[in-house]
Structures are given as structure tokens and as C-alpha cells.
Amino acid sequence: MNPWRALLALSFLLLGGCLVTFDEPLPGAGSAPKALLGQWRSQDAWGEPLTLSIGRDKAGVYTATAQAQGKPAQRYRFTVLQRGHRWYASAAVPAAFGSGFTVAGFDLVGRRELVIYSLDVEQVRQAVEAGELEGHAVDVAADDGPGMRIDTPPSQLQAYLDDPANSDLFVEAARFQRMEQ
């Protein structure tokens, strides 16, 4: 996994595997639980410390600042949406990685742990092949292989993601602990 991908995971975009992108962000934006805001820590695949700082601006857009040891901080803007018991984050993807938007899921376990879920590209590929989603494979400037670009209209996509039968589309990508103040 290249370092750019590790940092994106920290900021809700993805962790490992191939990238699934969308033409549009998830419709609507909401407010995340206040417990999401603040300082978080974890370790990368090599055991190096990672930090994540999450804040919100006056326009309601969230910013995640991720930093791996010895690397410059990376900053990403994202929106959140709650549907039932599920929380989603949606962020723009740089052109070098396919552009468009990506979607991740997240959960707060108590007030001390943040779990981030990424879309499993293989499950998404199977959904496209089965005609459940519209999309196609795309090559991105990454070493993790081809990704998927989903063209399904946003309302249909949201209904598909919300369906409990499709919960296996999301896999745990990262787990963070709240940093002591």
C-alpha cells in the first residue's frame, strides 16, 4: 500500500485495496456526532504512528488532517450523512486517483474508538456484474490495481448502500483510539 492511500484512509477516503469512486457525492449532508471531532491515533501497516485530527467549519464541512510519522500532514474535506444507524462520509478524490467522489462508513464505539469502513472493490465489482449497480472498471495511478467507477444515480445508490442485505460491501479499514487531551 502506498503512503498516499494510507493517509486517505485516515481521512475517511479509503485504506488498501482498489478505489471505488462515484460521479457525485452522497446526496445531502448532515452533522456527525460531536464525538467524531478531535484527535485520534492509530498505527499504519508497518507499526508507525498515525494521527488524525477532525474538525468542522462554519459551512458544515468536515476536515480531516492526517499525518504519518516523518510525512507532511495531508488535509481532506468531507461531508457526512446518517441513514438509519449507518454513518457515511463522502469526499472528493484527486484526479490522479480517478477523480469523482468516494464513500466510506464510520462508527464511533463509545467516545474512545473510531472505526472506518471502506467499500470492498470486489463486492462492488460483483454488484456491477450482477446488474445491481451501474459502473465500470477504471485504471488509477496507484499500485493497488484497477478501481471501479459507479454511475448509479445517487438516490438508487443510497438505497442500495442502506439495504442491510448489502452490508458486506463495507469492510473495516482502520481503527483509531481517542488521544488524551
**Longest alpha-carbon distance in the chain:** 49
Output the average pLDDT for the chain.
Answer: 83
- Asked whether the whole model's pTM tops 0.85, one would answer no
> Chain-centre distance of CA 12, in angstroms?
3
* Cell digits of residue 92: 472528493
CA distance linking residue 8 with residue 86, whole number of Å = 20
CA distance linking residue 130 with residue 77, whole number of Å = 33
Whether residue 6 has pLDDT greater than 60: no
> For the CA atoms of 112, 76, 60, 108, what is the dihedral angle to 10 degrees?
-20
Q: Tens digits of per-residue pLDDT, 68-82?
A: 888 899 888 999 999
Number of structural domains the chain divides into: 1
Confidence band, pLDDT 50/70/90 cuts, at residue 12: very low
The residues, any chain, with a CB within 8 Å of residue 173's CB and separated by 6 or more, are 9, 14, 15, 16, 104, 116, 117, 118
Whole-number pLDDT of residue 46: 82
Q: Which domain holds residue 114?
A: 3-178
> Chain-centre distance of CA 85, in angstroms?
17
